Chain A
Amino acid sequence: MPLTLREVMLGVRRSPLLSALSVVTIAFSLFAFGLFGLLVLNVDRALRGVEEHVEIVAFLADGTLPEAVSTAMADISSFPEVAQVQEVSPEQALARARAELPEFQDVFDASFLPPSIEVRLKEGHRDPRTVKEVTQRIQTYPFVDDVRYGEDWVKKLYDIRNIAGAAGIALGSLFAAVAVIIIGTTIRMTVLAREREISIMRLVGATDAFVRRPFLLDGFLKGIIGGLLALLLTWGASSVISHSLIQTTFFDPGVAALGVIGGGIIGLLGSALSVGRHLRRV
């Protein structure tokens, strides 16, 4: 077994409780972070779902020739911001109204509803400015009577997304910082518990790198194990919420793996900082 790994195992065997405590502390710090991440993910997803409904409806003038509508649709489809263009005839509009609004159940004449073109925008192009710009372009067609896109609604949605994004970054950074501090302190306890050993290592001519190596590996492994535990806890919490409250989305495997590796890196950094500070003193 390589010497560094043997030293790590020896450290764990010598103080199993402290090692377990380190792993649990790391796990809970990352669990708190994971829960927050889950909240951000689901709020983001919910907002995205709402945002998908952002659409521009262009009402067409009576008697617009079908060729003109087709040309306009092809034209609008080629806008870089546009994802989908759909023509809605008065009959389709009435069928939809009947399905969505009970007061339309008794209406049988579709002629009072104008034909329209519904335009959906691509993700990343649903901000108020772009929506307004596309709307203005559509308005230039002579057979377009009116264009609606729910200006206030789009603006509010955009504001909510911005606030949620900023809060996510701020709180996420705070959670990450707290996790780093807690993990760093825990690892520092491990370093202090082995202070005598470090002084003996240095006395017999161990280089700083040699002294540091087992601690770095120790921190990394504890971070990975803590990260896996945190992932398990977060998954458990997500399942419980999904079963008892609302359906939640869990991290995709790539993000989950990144979280576990992140735990390892935090453990490694925490160790590097603690040992570095300690070595400078001795």
Chain B
Amino acid sequence: MIRFSHVVKEYPRTGLALQDVTFRVNKGEFAFLTGPSGAGKSTILRLVIVEETPTAGEVRVGGSLTSGLPRAEIPRLRRKIGVVFQDFRLLEDRTAEQNVAFALEVTGAPRDAISARVSRLLTQVGLASKGTSYPKELSGGEQQRVAIARALVNDPVLLVADEPTGNLDDRATRGVFQLLRDINAAGTAVLMATHNLELVKRNEYRVIEVNRGQLVFDSAEGNGAGVVTTPSPA
């Protein structure tokens, strides 16, 4: 599903963000991506959603090599990937329904199919009754659920989540995380970047840890220092 081979990413101003990172996330797998701030987690996620391309090495997502991918192909690849952010990134002037529908509309989906799909997804994330609410009328956890519904609208094979519980209290965190688990159980691969070590420890999922731009631990490989020993505050 995701394959990083000796990936190097260097930014002109800030320098080296990733050095020789190699890992793969398989179809249907759930993996945590951990590490301190500035370790390179967000860079990895940006490479996965093709907001960036590697300076050296190869990134493959859903079988496509992202370097040299024609610009017109990028949107098609992104429709296979659902993305969730810490700050939700919802459109404030649209209701929950409209935010979810928007992701379908941009793909040119027929309008009659959109409304049925949107209400089904809002029900799936537990917000059936909040479809007409605007983001500011929703709690943080509810906003993140809307963002997750939006991420799922195109039936992605991969869900990328960048600190999805970073702005949420414990109860909302548990709810959102359970939702991600359910999505994974239904067959979607999930790559979740997080600072929440408690969450990581409590769950038996694979852990990929980066530090200073290098992959320092991968529980699938069993090497390195391990996530528990390199805590960092959220």
Contact = CB atoms under 8 A, between A and B. Distances in A.
Contacts of B178: none
A207 B93 contact: no
Interface in A187-233: 196-197, 199-208, 210
B78 A205 contact: yes
A206 B91 contact: no
Interface in A1-55: 3, 10, 13-14
B150 A204 contact: yes
Nearest to B50: A202
Interface stretch (B101-109, B137-145, B226-234): B101-109
Contacts of B89: 196, 199-200, 203
Contacts of B105: 3
Nearest to A200: B89
A10 B95 CA distance: 13
Nearest to B108: A210
A10 B76 contact: no
Contacts of A208: 71-72, 75
Contacts of B71: 208
B159 interface: no
Contacts of A200: 89, 91, 102
Which of B71, B83, B106, B108 is the most central at the interface, judged by chain A CB atoms within 10 Å of its CB? B106
Contacts of A14: 93
B91 A204 contact: no
Contact of A210 (B76, B83, B91, B106): B106
Contact of B93 (A10, A203, A205): A10
Nearest to A13: B93
Most buried by B among A13, A201, A204, A210: A204
Nearest to B107: A205
A164 to B, nearest CB: 49
B91 A205 contact: no
A200 B83 CA distance: 10
A207 B91 contact: no
Contacts of A196: 89, 91
B195 interface: no
B86 to A, nearest CB: 14
A278 B57 CA distance: 28
Contacts of B154: 204-205
A120 B108 CA distance: 67
B91 to A, nearest CB: 6
B41 interface: no
B93 A201 contact: no
Nearest to A199: B89
A268 B89 CA distance: 29
A281 B72 CA distance: 15
Nearest to B78: A205
Given A3-B105, A208-B71, A210-B106, A203 B91 contact: no
A204 B93 contact: no
Contacts of A203: 49, 78, 83, 89
Contacts of B102: 200-201, 204
A2 to B, nearest CB: 10
A3 B103 CA distance: 12
Given A203-B83, A207-B72, A208-B71, A197 B91 contact: yes
A49 B93 CA distance: 60
Given A196-B91, A205-B76, A210-B75, 13 more contacts: A14-B93, A196-B89, A197-B91, A201-B106, A204-B102, A204-B103, A204-B153, A204-B154, A205-B78, A205-B107, A206-B106, A207-B75, A207-B106
30 contacts: A3-B105, A10-B93, A13-B93, A14-B93, A199-B89, A200-B89, A200-B91, A200-B102, A201-B106, A202-B78, A203-B78, A203-B83, A204-B78, A204-B79, A204-B102, A204-B103, A204-B106, A204-B150, A204-B154, A205-B76, A205-B103, A205-B106, A205-B154, A206-B75, A206-B106, A207-B72, A207-B106, A210-B75, A210-B106, A210-B108
